[in-house]
Structure 1
Amino acid sequence: MKKMYMVLSLLLVFVMVAAGCSTKSNLEGGAKTAEPKKEGGAASGKTTIGLSISTLNNPFFVTLKEGAEKAAKEAGVDLVVVDAQNDTSKQISGIEDLIQKKVNVILINPTDSVAVITAVEAANKANIPVITIDRAANGGQVVSHIASDNVKGGQMAGDYILKAIGGKGNIVELQGIAGTSAARDRGKGFHNAVDGKDGVKIAASQPADFDRAKGLSVMENILQGNKDVAAVFAHNDEMALGALQAIQASGKNIVVVGFDATDDAVKAVNEGKMAATVAQKPAAIGDVAVKTAVKVTKGEKVEASIPVDLELITKK
């Protein structure tokens, strides 16, 4: 009886020790999965900047993104890029995702300066600073706006065209996406230069939405109804290159001036196919945007408007 009692006691001690080891193992291993998962932004302790870009189908914005990525790498911060694909609702949804990820700052290149207001205000409510780049937002609180002086650039293009056509002739204007500050400001600068000039007429002023294919089709239609066109000003190079295709097919000799100085446009200028393009330096815009965002995360004061230099590119 006494021996049996001893055996049972030893078995009980063994079970208690084994249970203790199992509990320790659970605490050191599997229990870690119950800890809150840390996400990007402030939660991870590393600075994360969100970049909502209007479209990566345009070489200008691809270069802008690359400038931002390079600056982010040099600064040791994370950059999360979302492509709106020129879709306003997609851009708003992408910005909401950045807010959910708790990024430290959001850089926004609006598809539409009015429609983006709700997204800017959502970031404001989440206490996430907003910086607009290239195109402005028409509402909400924005810490800084980084862009070229589009009004000045439009005027540079208009002044060049007047000189190139000798102050006389019919001019076509291809407009960008309605509602964007870039289209509005470039058009304003252009009209500041050419409106009211004797011998000059705006033969057509139509939107082609910053798109090369639309620039081609719109210019084809314009040429059918206007046989005597001296020059074209397009609000960006993609439309200018599309217009150039239509002009070459027609066999006409027309001065074409674009805006952005993309690689394709600069090549066309150097080959004598396009007359000029206004260089907006997108890589510099992306670089300055990220550097400004980093300053904001450190609590440093930044300017409400930060301009990036322009340059008129003509044949070398």
Structure 2
Amino acid sequence: MKKTNVILALIVAVFMVLAGCSTQSKLESGSKTAEPAKDGTASNKITIGLSVSTLNNPFFVTLKDGADKAAKEAGASLIVVDSQNDTAKQISGIEDLIQKKVNLILINPTDSDAIVTAVKSANAAGIPVITVDRAANGGDVVTHIASDNVKGGKMAGDFILKTLGGKGNIVELQGIAGTSAARDRGKGFHDAVDGKDGVKVVASQPADFDRAKGLSVMENILQGNKDIQAVFAHNDEMALGALQAIQAAGKNIVVVGFDATDDAVKAVNDGKMAATVAQKPAAIGDTAVKTALKVLKGEKVEKFIPVDLELVTKK
């Protein structure tokens, strides 16, 4: 009887040791799947949130596509939230991403000031934040990935001055007030044209990066000022809206946009728009995801990562 008890005790002990090893192996395996792989890719457990200001703008659709492609190539998951240019909706969407415990959040702010509360919420949850195309004016942001919008605005202004021969009245259509893109593009443009003899900015009004608003605002400006030689719009959607108003009024006005969307590039090549400053939204999205994976691996990144610009004129 004693011999039988000893044998049973040994069998139970061996079973417990094997079960413990199996459990430990599962725990170790589970912990590793949440980390990016050493080759720079990520496992399926890596989830990145992308809060976009609006997907009703071709530029941001292309940016999202670039991010999505990079995430798929890396084996990561990307959750995209469309804020529809609504700050309250964006903040709510980011709170949802926080609740889903994503590993990192990419934010393209609708408003650089208003988004600060959402950035701080992610900070409090221990989730790293990267801003994309537009910056946040507060909170802890690991890095900002965007074109050099000041440089782009100056490129547009310099081109207009050269095209007009240094003389003429110019209209500026501004983007959404409070966004870094509108502020920086406006700064670069004014750096180029302000103080130049023979040049005057006769109107500078917001049209919120929207084509329909670009049309209506330009219609109103044309009614009040018949002597206009050029228009600089902070994005192509407003430029295309302004172009509609100009064509309807039978005017011949130089129009320069920003973003190089497909519609704008076509308008340039057709001789309807004079130029557009080409951002590379797909490259911005791609860079954002690749930088996110570096951050999640614990690598250091620069506080600002610029993406190249170029001026697109008729071929």
Q: Does the aligned pair in 2 maintain the 1:42–1:102 contact within 8 Å?
A: no
User: What amino acid is the match of 1:161?
Assistant: I
Aligned pairs for 1:28-39 within 5 A: none
5 Å-filtered alignment, 1:146-225, equals: 146-225=145-224
* Equivalences for residues 14-29 of structure 1 within 5 A: none
TM-aligned CA deviation for residue 42 of structure 1: 5.3
Partner of 1:23: none
User: 1:176 touches 1:208 (CA, 8 Å); kept in 2?
Assistant: yes
Separation in 1, partners of 2:301, 2:77? 20
Larger Rg: 1
- How far 1:301 sits from its partner (Å)? 1.0
Q: Residues 1-316 of structure 1 correspond to what in structure 2 (within 5 A)?
A: 46-316=45-315
1:10 aligned partner: none
Once the two structures are superposed, residues 127-157 of structure 1 have per-residue CA deviations (whole angstroms, 9 ceiling, x without a partner) of 0000000000000000010000000000000
Look up the equivalent residue of 2:296 and give its one-letter code. T
Partner of 1:223, secondary structure, is helix
Question: Deviation above 6 Å: which 4+ runs of structure 1?
Answer: none
Paired letter, 2:189 = F
**Letter of the 1:81 counterpart:** V
Amino acid at match of 2:281: P
Indicate if the aligned counterparts of 2:44 and 2:76 stay in contact, CA closer than 8 A. Answer: no
How far apart, in 2, do the equivalents of 1:197 and 1:122 lie? 46
Contact 2:105 2:130 in 1 (8 A): yes
Q: 1:71 to 1:224 in 2, by over 3 A?
A: same
In structure 1, distance between residues paired with 2:169 and 2:34: 56
How far apart, CA to CA, are the structure 2 residues paired with 1:244 and 1:158? 18
TM-score, with structure 2 as normaliser? 0.86
Residues 84-135 of structure 1 deviation map (CA, whole Å, 9 limit, x = unaligned): 0000000000000000000000000000000000000000000000000000
Two-structure CA RMSD over aligned residues (Å): 1.4
CA contact (8 A) 2:44 2:75 kept: no
Q: Is the 8 A contact 1:172 1:232 kept in 2?
A: yes
Taking the aligned partners of 1:94 and 1:252, their CA distance within structure 2 comes to 43
SS of residue matched to 2:51 = strand
Secondary structure of 2:300's counterpart equals coil
1:14 aligns with none
Separation in structure 1 between the aligned mates of residue 113 and residue 309 of structure 2, nearest angstrom:
26
Note the C-alpha offset of 1:303: 1.0
* Separation in structure 2 between the aligned mates of residue 147 and residue 42 of structure 1, nearest angstrom: 28
Cα deviation for residue 178 of structure 1 reads 0.2
Q: For residue 141 of structure 1, give the secondary structure of its aligned residue in structure 2.
A: coil
| Other-structure match for 1:4 | none
SS in 2 for 1:307: strand
Identity rate of aligned residues, in percent?
85
Structure 2 segments unaligned to the other structure (5+ residues): 1-29, 36-42
* Equivalenced residues, count: 277
Distance (Å, rounded) in 2 between the aligned partners of 1:310 and 1:288: 15
Assess, with a 3 A threshold, how the Cα gap between structure 1 residues 45 and 253 changes in structure 2: closer, same or farther.
closer
Deviations 1:218-241 (A, max 9, x none): 000000111010000000000000
Offset at residue 45 of structure 1 (A): 7.0
Secondary structure of residue in 2 paired with 1:51: strand
Helix, strand or coil: the match of 1:206?
strand
Give the unaligned 5+ runs of structure 1.
1-37
